[in-house]
Structure 1
Amino acid sequence: MGAYTQKPDGFGPQSDDKVDVEQAERPGVAQTTLQSFAHLNEKAILRKMDLRLIPMLALLYLLSFLDRGNIGNAKIEGLQEDLNLTDGQYNWCLTAFFFPYAAFEVPSNLMLKKVRPSIWLPSIMVAWGFVMTLMGIVHNYTGLLTARFFLGVTEAGLFPGVAYYLTNWYKRDEIQLRQALFFSAASVAGAFSGLLAFAIGKMDGVAGLHGWQWIFILEGIATVFVASVAFFALFDFPETAGFLTEEERAFVVYRLKYQGQSQDPNRAQVAQADEFKWKYVKDAFLDWQVWVNIFVYWGVVCPLYGTSLFLPTIIRQLGYQSSDAQLMTVPIYITAAILAVVAAYFSDRVGRRSPFIIGFLLMMAVGFSMCIGIDPKQHPRIVYAGVFIAVCSIYPAFPGVVSWLSNNLSGSLKRSVGMAIQIGVGNMGGAFASNFYHARDGPRFMLGHGLELAFIGAGLIASVILLVGYTTANRKRASEIDRGALDSYTATELSEKGDKAVTYRYVY
């Protein structure tokens, strides 16, 4: 493995070309260079990290997404009728999840900075597993609403926590593939949920419980069991990773600390700030890119939750039986999982986020337009194809949106808070989407599909704004350096500025 130089896309050091990186004595500047680690096999180190981290994280998220979305499967197994819920009450039970889910994500990520991930993440998982199990014994609307509220409280920390956690192991040009491998568990959960619901639904009447109750109880017990294993199977951060040698740990930490800066062999590199300062929390809340990115996030997450919560119902309304509708979700989600990983691989390879995100948003628009424009009674298979296209575009786009923001926030604390804001406020889109679809609107669901298209349009506009903003900022900073602006700052000052530093390059 050679030492590193900057790719034209601004992604950070790569292993293709050798360059000398100047050593410096100023505070905040490395006393070693990547040449010091040139004898290490980077690909072998990444493989070790992938095998030790990704499978367990994917399993955690699979169970998380399974537990929040299985209410859609329970509905067509009789939940709504057995609890005597109106359509409005059922939708409020969906919505109740998202308010605490959004509110607790920033506090949870701040806790992750204070408490070890191997303790914090399994702990919240045990909590939501108990809530999930207890959801299986509710008897009325109030009980279900309360259970869904506390499910949102307890699940809030997992996704933003893991999304941030991965950025402490992988560089900007590696992160989307790992985010996709982790997030593809959501699409697998969609497929798995349909299969499980089909099988568990056959337990209707066992121990005097309905089939939908067994869905909640058995999946909740599985979550608690896996959480118990996760206490021992999860690793914390590279600095303490027992599966890496001391030199490999130093290498992983080094390459993360100095990523994102324009590489000039005649100047010392600037480290990312990683200490705790409330200033960095404030910076995250005031950064324009965080709030614009939320609209991109909504453009993906509203269709994501709209389909995950209502897909079995949408398919059943095309004229299929409940059991067939459960099974017909499986090929959609499996295809989406494969596409998510493939798209992430190429996005990391070419060093771009926006072309893939914009492309998949356009594909979503095509899919939902087919659902609106085609009469489902006359052409149910074409409408099913539209749903297929839409869902298979959502899952590849989502890890790209999360990676895009994480790529462009420098400093460990700011990135942690910024990603929690993005995911927390962004997941309010789930509260919107849980009210998009109503049984009375079937089988065409004009209102639901139309609202999805509106959010997709907002996501496209926001994507273009970010693209223009990032490219403009990169050109401006390069011009300022050419005029000697870099001489006005010390390494410490540049480190504190993070992604606002003149040396920092945004990924677009």
Structure 2
Amino acid sequence: MAKFIEYLRGKESRPGEAALLRKLDFFILTFCCLMYFANYLDRSNLANAYVSGMKEDLNFKGSQFNQINTIFTVGYILGQVPSNLALQYIKPRIFFPGMMLVWGGLTMVTAAVKNPQGIMAIRFFLGLAESSTFVGTHYILGSWYTERELGKRSGIFTASGLAGTMFGEFIQTGIISSLHGARGNTGLAIDGLITVPIALYGLFLFPDTPATTTAPYLTAEDRALAMARVPERGAERTRLDWAFARRVFGSWHWYGFVMLWVIAGETESFSTNSLLALYMKAHPTRRYTVAQNNNYPSGVPAVGIVSTLFWATLTDFLGGKRYLVGFWIAVTGVATSAMILAPGASTATVFGAYYWAGSVYACQATFFAWANDVMRYRDDALRSVVIASMNMGSNVINAWWSIVFYPADTAPYFTRGMWAMIACSIAMAVWTGGVLYMAEREKKQTQRAVVDKGEDEKV
């Protein structure tokens, strides 16, 4: 226990490192977490507005709600790799706030739309703008933090998005209760306004990357130490040509980590597709109030926050054993699906299954940290493409997965989706083992190469 407490406090291995980490944590994590909070607040509040009156106000039919989510996902997919590569050419302190202002404006416009078709058009461009946040931040975190530090920071960042989901539900409830007669989508206008001060904060104080930072709070010694803490990958910018493309697609990292996140993304389906809210809306015997429809599902991201921070911290402490989360996901997915599929499952059992399933959110922080760890000695452009492709691949499947397996008109039990979840969970265990094997094999090959090089130099 004493060793674990010492780990949580952090230990300075170089003079000035503790002070540098405090600065980095404050300015990088505060901006990235606030940005991701606002990002998830926007996404979750469309579902909150839907169950709070927007469905009736705008006369939604059939699976139009799912179609809106799919169109958003298409825009989100198309922006992944270009957004991360843009960080090689545009300073993050300019690119991130710029994208925030775009999506904030689009969110405010959404509040005034009169029909589902208008929302569909806006959400496509909103997806393009928001594509920069998640993968871009994981790329930045991997640029500043070491293997021993990365899991915790990735976990804190991911938890901030889940907090946006959770607080969005409370914000929506507050709007409905305090503004008598307000429409369900009023909260979207407030979400858009929240982005403005966060974007301005990032524009003036985000530190970019160790090699390009001009942050006023980092001294020359801080900048030198920051560059010494991460592997040197060369000063020249990688050329984005066919040779680079062949190198990406010829690497096991691209296939291994993209498929890992594709599977993991679908094991998050219980939470990301707002299934508990839809279950409550279509409950066969109970009718829930607007406040209950918004507040009860907040337990899912709350569990996700605790699980994310627990697993991120634990895997750092255990020396980067991120693969443990993959096996936890497999057990959770099979068990929670079986609970919901069980004949005569009570409402309490179904609620318990959805809350437990929220723990699967832990894979967001740990799997992207795992990818950063394994590719730490690869060039930045390759790392950025693999990280972006992970999220892109997952969202390619998300674009149609909810329509096929979780359409709103199959609520409350989503039987087809439960069986799909069991299949994904089994695949998760198998693929995690495969990625672990490849990573360990590469690590041993690298170690042997270092030893052989040392022997050659002695001769």
User: TM bucket by the smaller chain?
Assistant: 0.7 to 0.9
C-alpha deviation, 1:476, in angstroms: 4.2
Task: Write the distance in 1 (CA, Å) between the matches of 2:59 and 2:31.
Answer: 39
C-alpha deviation, 1:127, in angstroms: 0.3
Verify: 1:245 aligned to 2:219, yes or no: yes
Matches within 5 A, 1:269-308: 275-278=237-240, 279-280=243-244, 282-308=246-272
Matches within 5 A, 1:184-199: 184-199=159-174
Instruction: Provide closer, same or farther for how the CA distance between residues 273 and 139 of structure 1 changes in structure 2, counting only shifts above 3 A.
Output: same
Task: Write the distance in 1 (CA, Å) between the matches of 2:298 and 2:266.
Answer: 20
Amino acid across the alignment from 1:313? L
C-alpha deviation, 1:97, in angstroms: 0.6
Name the counterpart of 1:313: 278
Match among 206, 212, 216 for residue 188 of structure 2:
216
Match among 322, 343, 346 for residue 311 of structure 2:
343
Name the counterpart of 1:29: none
Task: Write the distance in 2 (CA, Å) between the matches of 1:241 and 1:221.
Answer: 26
Match among 395, 398, 403 for residue 364 of structure 2:
398
The structure with the largest helix share of the pair is 2
Amino-acid identity (%): 23
1:228-276 Cα deviation digits (max 9, x unpaired): 3332232222343332321222111012025xxxxxxxxxxxx567632
Instruction: Provide closer, same or farther for how the CA distance between residues 215 and 305 of structure 1 changes in structure 2, counting only shifts above 3 A.
Output: farther
Verify: 1:386 aligned to 2:360, yes or no: no
Instruction: Provide closer, same or farther for how the CA distance between residues 395 and 153 of structure 1 changes in structure 2, counting only shifts above 3 A.
Output: same
Amino acid across the alignment from 2:256? V
Task: Write the distance in 1 (CA, Å) between the matches of 2:165 and 2:153.
Answer: 19
Matches within 5 A, 1:363-374: 363-373=332-342
Does the 8 Å contact 2:66/2:408 carry over to 1? no
- Bigger drift between 325-334 and 151-160 goes to 325-334
Task: Write the distance in 2 (CA, Å) between the matches of 1:450 and 1:71.
Answer: 27
C-alpha deviation, 1:15, in angstroms: 7.4
Task: Write the distance in 1 (CA, Å) between the matches of 2:11 and 2:387.
Answer: 28
Does the 8 Å contact 1:361/1:397 carry over to 2? no
Does the 8 Å contact 2:266/2:398 carry over to 1? yes
Name the counterpart of 2:102: 127
Name the counterpart of 1:419: 387
C-alpha deviation, 1:294, in angstroms: 2.1
C-alpha deviation, 1:220, in angstroms: 1.5
Larger Rg: 1
1:100-136 Cα deviation digits (max 9, x unpaired): 2111111111111111111100000100111111111
- Bigger drift between 183-192 and 317-326 goes to 317-326
C-alpha deviation, 1:320, in angstroms: 5.1
Equivalent residue of 2:344, what SS?
A: coil
Instruction: Provide closer, same or farther for how the CA distance between residues 114 and 482 of structure 1 changes in structure 2, counting only shifts above 3 A.
Output: closer
Aligned-pair RMSD on alpha carbons? 2.5
Number of matched pairs: 436
Name the counterpart of 1:158: 133
Amino acid across the alignment from 2:318? V
Does the 8 Å contact 1:200/1:211 carry over to 2? no
Name the counterpart of 1:27: none
Does the 8 Å contact 1:109/1:157 carry over to 2? yes
**Structure 2 gaps, min length 5:** 1-9
TM-score of the superposition, structure 2-length normalised? Answer: 0.87
Does the 8 Å contact 2:49/2:172 carry over to 1? yes
Task: Write the distance in 2 (CA, Å) between the matches of 1:90 and 1:374.
Answer: 29
